[in-house]
Homo-oligomer: A and B are copies of this chain.
Amino acid sequence: MRKGALKVIMTIRTPKPKKVNRAGLTISDYKGSPSTLCSGCGHDAISSQITKAFYEMGVKPHQVAKMSGIGCSSKTPAYFLGSSHGFNGVHGRMPSLATGALLGNRDLICIGLSGDGDTASIGLGQFCHLLRRNIPMIYVIENNGVYGLTKGQFSATADIGSKQKSGVINDLPPIDCCTLAIEMGCSYVARSFAGDPKQLVALLQGALSHSGTAMLDVISPCVTFNNQESSTKSYKWAKEHEELLHQIDFVPYFEPIETVEYAEGVMREVEMHDGSHIRLRKLNQDYDPMNKNSALSMLRETRDSGEFLTGLIYVNPVAKNFLDLLDLSETPLAVLAQEKVRPGPEVLEEAMRELM
């Protein structure tokens, strides 16, 4: 039923599948090299949705910078947008690389791919500080609750009480990246599931329209090390427990918004930075993702009740991002001409005089 309902909506949303998008490119222009991940890995599903979202938004691949840390998840930037620049850095430190890249070139459309270990274990500090700065980028956590690439050790989002193949049991509470992100000032916080392509695409498109950090905590099952039914990061559990906060329609700025009639409180519309609209259609209750406090309470309640809540949990479309705050020149710093960056001889003389 849900899926059914979703389909209807999607037809409203999805620009009729064309051969080429606004950038005059085909979907295959957004593909990358073949994946070397395990077949069935959630990460590959996410790569496909990223490919789709960027294609549908008509993003120009050369403007994109794909950043990542280390892990199976962090390998994925090689598997989409093959003609874009990509940077697979060191473990847990992608946030600083991405921050630097955007300082150097503010025009880049930056997407960071990370894992739960890369972000919540070794990378927790940099992750938090990135969010505080509201760096304008999409930050996707491909959350499977384990270290995939090193063969199944627990990450900081592993379920408490969960068991490794080796028999070791995890007795530490998992970090909730969404709550943490909101507390740290993140201005676009969403949770989704690799097995829910439609929602994921919509959330990615919303993220592309956002002017600050858009953090997507995406449950992405590791079929090799953490897909047993008991795991809250398994396909089965996620499918069975997924609770949609709302149904999401995304209307890109370049599409006409047909005004559809809705009963009172059935739909909320969030206008994004670039003029796109995110439409949230009520499911159980009317939910306001612009209210930080209710977002936090909602997260706490569902966590306590063991629900797996997905959707756009919090958004502040007008928050100033870090580059705005730095008041940087419109021209990317990387390409400023010598005249702009090397003051003239008279300036040096002035400086010298002051020191005499």
Chain A residues within 8 Å of B, Cβ to Cβ:
121-126, 128-129, 132-133, 156, 171-173, 175-176, 179-180, 183-185, 293, 296-297, 300, 325
**Across-interface contacts of A133 in B (CB, < 8 A):** 172
15 contacting pairs across A/B (C-beta < 8 A) = A121-B129, A124-B124, A124-B125, A124-B129, A125-B126, A125-B128, A132-B173, A132-B175, A171-B325, A173-B185, A180-B183, A183-B183, A293-B297, A293-B300, A296-B296
Cβ-defined partner of A172 (8 Å) among B123, B132, B175, B297: B132
Interface centre among A126, A133, A172, A297 (most CB of B within 10 A): A172
Copies in the complex: 2
**Across-interface contacts of A325 in B (CB, < 8 A):** 171
| Bound-state Cα–Cα, A129 to B172, Å | 10
| Bound-state Cα–Cα, A132 to B172, Å | 7
**Across-interface contacts of A296 in B (CB, < 8 A):** 296, 300
Contacting pair A183 B172 (CB below 8 A): no
How far is the CB of A94 from the nearest CB of chain B, in Å?
14
**Across-interface contacts of A126 in B (CB, < 8 A):** 125
Residue of chain B at shortest CB distance from A121: B129
How far is the CB of A73 from the nearest CB of chain B, in Å?
19
**Across-interface contacts of A180 in B (CB, < 8 A):** 183
**Across-interface contacts of A171 in B (CB, < 8 A):** 325
How far is the CB of A175 from the nearest CB of chain B, in Å?
7
Residue of chain B at shortest CB distance from A127: B125
How far is the CB of A185 from the nearest CB of chain B, in Å?
5
Contacting pair B132 A128 (CB below 8 A): no
**Across-interface contacts of A121 in B (CB, < 8 A):** 129
| Bound-state Cα–Cα, A132 to B171, Å | 10
Contacting pair A156 B132 (CB below 8 A): yes
| Bound-state Cα–Cα, A259 to B33, Å | 74
Contacting pair A175 B184 (CB below 8 A): yes
How far is the CB of A115 from the nearest CB of chain B, in Å?
16
The 9 tightest CB contacts between A and B, nearest first, are: A125-B125, A124-B125, A171-B325, A173-B185, A132-B172, A124-B128, A179-B183, A293-B300, A132-B173
**Across-interface contacts of A183 in B (CB, < 8 A):** 176, 179-180, 183
| Bound-state Cα–Cα, A260 to B300, Å | 37
How far is the CB of A284 from the nearest CB of chain B, in Å?
21
How far is the CB of A343 from the nearest CB of chain B, in Å?
21
**Across-interface contacts of A297 in B (CB, < 8 A):** 293, 297
**Across-interface contacts of A176 in B (CB, < 8 A):** 183
Residue of chain B at shortest CB distance from A171: B325
**Across-interface contacts of A185 in B (CB, < 8 A):** 173
